Structure 1
Amino acid sequence: MSLTGTPFFVVTILLVVLTVVVLVLVWNRIPGPAPVKTTARVGLIVFSQFTAVLMVLVFVNNRMGPFYDTWGSLFGQDASVQLTASGGSGDGRGASGASDVSAQKLSFGKYNSDVLSADAVGPESRIKGDIYVWLPPQYNEPAYAHTDFPVLELLPGTPGTPKAWFGSMHADSAMRTLMSEGKVKPMILVSAKINMFGGSRDSGCANLPGSYQTATWLAKDVPALMKHNFRVSGNPKNWGIAGYSAGGYCAANLTVKYPQVFHAGVSMSGYNAPDAAVVLKDPALAAANNPLLLLEKAKQQPDIVLMAQGVRTDGTTVEDARALIRALHKPGTSQVLTLSSGDHDTRTFIKEMTPMLTWMSKQITGR
C-alpha cells in the first residue's frame, strides 16, 4: 500500500478508532494479577497514542509535502543510482551544460490532469529519479507549434519530493492564474528528484566524489532530458531554476556554478552555505558549493540574475538573502524579497511562489 494517498490514511484513521474501542472494551476485563493488568493497560495506552500520532504524521506528509512519497524514501532505501565509468568522481566545476551522452526518450504518464511524470536515468550522472513536467496550454496550440519554450526547473526541500511542487504547492494552478492575469508568459515547469539518499539525509545538491553526482543530474542531465523530449529553448537566457529551503540553496548554488545552463535563479527561504553533513566533512567540497563564497571570490562573476527571498521570523533567511544579492558586482534585475512573518513551511513557500514566478517570467521569457 502506498505511503501517500487516501487508502493508507483511511487505514490509520480506522486503526485509531479500533484501538480506542479495544481500550474501552477490555480495560476492566484484563485477567491476571495487578502488575499484569497495569502493564497491559499502559501498553494499550501507548499503542493508542502511537496510532494517533501515526495518523497525524500521515496527514501532514500528504497535506504539507509529501516529504516522503514512498516507503523506501522514508526509510532511506529509495536511492537508485549507477556511478559513471570514472566512479562518480569530480565536482562538476567547469562542466558544460549539455551532456556528452545521448538522453533517453521518456515514456510519460500523468501525475494529474495537467502534469506529466516519468522515471528517468541521467545520461551522465547515471542517477535514476522521477521528474514531473507541466506544459503550458500554449504548448499544444497550433500557433505555438514551432515555438521553443523557456524552462523553469523547480527544486523541493529536504526531506521532500519533486511532486510537492504540483501537489501541496500547486505551481501549475498558480501558473494558469498568473497567465490569465497577464503577469507571466508561458514557460515549462520541470521538477526533479534532488534527495539521493532517501530519508532525511541531505546529499547537498553536490557532486560527491565516488558517489551521487547530483549537480550533474540537475544541471546537465535534466536539461538534456527536457531538450530531447520537448520543444524547449537551448539558450541559457531562457532557463531558470528555483527552490525552497534546501532547494533554494541548491538553486542559487547551481545558478552560480552553471551560468551556461541557468541565467536566473531564485532562493526561497534558502541559505548560502551548504549544511549537508556529507558535503561539510570535505572543506574543499564545501567551499566549492558555497554560492556566496564563490561570488565573493570571483574576479569575473557569471552573467546571471538572482532573486533571494527571506522571512523576518524564519532564522537568518533575510540576512542570507541580502548577503547573496549584495555580493553581485552587477545585480541588474536581481532583487531581495522580504516577508514580515511566516514559518519555514509550505504555507510560506506558497506566498513566496507568486512573486518568484512573476519575476522569473520577466527574466527568462523576455517579458
Structure 2
Amino acid sequence: MGLTSNKVLALAAVFAALLFVATVWLWPRLARRSWRAVTGRVGLLLVTQVALLASLGIAANQVFGFYASWADLFGRETDQGVVVNHTAGGRGGPLQVVSSGAVQGVSGDRPQTTGQIQRVDIAGRTSRLATPAYVYLPPEYFQPQFRTRTFPVTVVLTGYPGTARALVDKLRYPRTAQELAKNGRMQPMILVMLRPTVAPPRDTECVDVPGGPQTETFFAKDLPEAVLAHYRVGKRPGSWGVMGDSTGGYCALKLAMHFPGVYTAGVGLSPYYKAPIDPTTGDLFHRDRALRDRADLMWLIGHAPAPDTSLLVTSSRVGEHNYAATLRFIERVQATNKTRIASIILGSGGHNFNTWRREIPAALQWLSGRLSDR
C-alpha cells in the first residue's frame, strides 16, 4: 500500500487507537515500582506516542502532499533519468503522454465540455533531466471551432518537497481554471503542473548547480521546447507565465526575472526571495558569488538591469513569515520603474494549502490578463 493510500491512514489510526486502549487497560497492572513495571509503562507510552504521531503525520501528508511515496519519504526515490537521443528521427519526443483523465469536480465526461488532465513524462534535451508532470487542457482545446487556435501556457510549480498531483487534487488548479474560464473571468489556458524538484530527492531551488543538475535550464529551455513540440501553444514570450507556492513561488519569480523572453509574468504564492542552503539543497553555488547573487532576488532587483516582466507576490499580515520581506521586495521593484509588481495581501493565513486556495483564483485571473494566445 502506498504512502498516500487511505488504507494506510486508516490502519495507522486504528493501530494508534488500539494502543491507546491497551495502555489504559494495562496501566493498573504496571502500577508497581519494579523495574519491569516501569519499563513496561515507558514502553507503552513510547509506542503509543509514536503510533499517534505517525498517524498524524500520514494525515498531514494526505492533506498537504509533502511526499508521494515511501521511497520519496525516505529519500530513495528513483524516478529520475537521463535522456539519450539515439537517433535524430526517433519515435520518442521530449514529452510523452502516459495517461489521461477528466477534471475532478466538473460535471460531464467529454473533454469538449470538461477539459482533460494528462499525465506526461518530460525529458530535457539540454539539461538531460527528466520528470513527470500533469497537463491541463481546457475544453476549448478539443472543440472544433478552436482546432487551429493556440493557447497561452502557465507552468505551475509545487513547494518542496511537494507532489505534482497535489496541484490537481489539493490546490485544484484545473478545476479553478475551468470554472473561471467558463464564467468569463479568464481566458482558457493550458496548465503544466510539476515539482520544482526535477532531480529528487535534492532541492535544487531551480538553480543550475555547477557540476550538478541544470534545473534552471530545464525550466527556461527544455520544458518550453517540450510543450511547444506537443501542444498547440503560443510561441511568443507573451504567451507564457509561471506561478507556484513557497519554493515554487521563489522559482516562479526567479524564472520570470531571469528569462523575461520566455516567461512574461510570474506569480509567487508565499514566496521567499533567496535560495536557502541546508541539508536538502547541498552546496548550490560552489563558492560562485555571482551565481549566488543572481539567485538572490532582493540583490538582483537592486543591482542588475530591471527585467521587462510582470510579477505578483502574496503574503498575509498574520501567519506568514515572508510578510516584511514581501513589502521590501514590492518597494524595490517599484523603484525600478520597469518591472511591474502587484500583490495579494491577506489579513491572516498560514503557509498552507487553504491560504493558497484563497489566492489562486485572483492570481490566475491576473496572469490571464497578461498572456496572449499567439
Judge same fold: TM > 0.5, yes or no: yes
8 Å Cα contact 2:130/2:198 also seen in 1: no
8 Å Cα contact 2:161/2:203 also seen in 1: yes
Residue 155 (structure 1) shift? 0.9
- What corresponds to 1:224 in structure 2? 225
TM-score (norm 2): 0.84
State, as a whole percentage, how many aligned pairs show the same letter.
29
Query: Is 1:12 aligned with 2:20?
Result: no
Cα 1:34/1:198, change in 2 over 3 Å = farther
Cα separation, 1, equivalents of 2:197 and 2:332? 24
SS of corresponding position for 1:107: strand
Select between 304-313 and 257-266 the one with higher mean Cα deviation: 304-313
- What corresponds to 1:329 in structure 2? 337
Selected match of 1:284 from 286, 290, 293: 290
Residue 335 (structure 1) shift? 1.7
Select between 307-316 and 43-52 the one with higher mean Cα deviation: 307-316
Cα separation, 2, equivalents of 1:316 and 1:13? 35
8 Å Cα contact 2:83/2:129 also seen in 1: no
- What corresponds to 2:88 in structure 1? none
Cα separation, 2, equivalents of 1:80 and 1:203? 16
Residue 261 (structure 1) shift? 1.2
Cα 1:49/1:112, change in 2 over 3 Å = farther
Letter in 1 for 2:311: L
8 Å Cα contact 1:240/1:263 also seen in 2: yes
- What corresponds to 1:315 in structure 2? 321
| RMSD value, Cα | 2.6
Letter in 1 for 2:51: T
Query: Is 1:297 aligned with 2:306?
Result: no
Cα separation, 1, equivalents of 2:47 and 2:218? 43
- What corresponds to 1:45 in structure 2? 45
Cα separation, 2, equivalents of 1:137 and 1:47? 51
Cα 1:220/1:177, change in 2 over 3 Å = same
Query: Is 1:156 aligned with 2:151?
Result: no
8 Å Cα contact 2:256/2:264 also seen in 1: yes
How do 1:1-367 residues align onto structure 2 when only pairs under 5 Å count? Answer: 1-28=1-28, 34-63=34-63, 65-78=64-77, 80-81=79-80, 103-110=93-100, 113=103, 114-196=116-198, 198=200, 202-277=203-278, 278-279=283-284, 282=287, 283-299=289-305, 301-313=306-318, 314-317=320-323, 318-323=326-331, 325-332=333-340, 334-365=341-372
Cα 1:140/1:83, change in 2 over 3 Å = closer
Residue 195 (structure 1) shift? 2.0
Letter in 1 for 2:244: G
8 Å Cα contact 1:187/1:365 also seen in 2: no
Partner deviation per Cα, 1:174-217 (whole Å, 9 max, x = no partner) = 11221122110100011122124646x63211010111111112
Unpaired runs of 5+ residues, structure 2, are: 85-91, 104-115
Q: How many residues align?
A: 347
SS of corresponding position for 1:340: strand
8 Å Cα contact 1:107/1:118 also seen in 2: yes
Residue 262 (structure 1) shift? 0.6
Residue 36 (structure 1) shift? 1.0
Cα 1:284/1:72, change in 2 over 3 Å = farther
Unpaired runs of 5+ residues, structure 1, are: 86-101
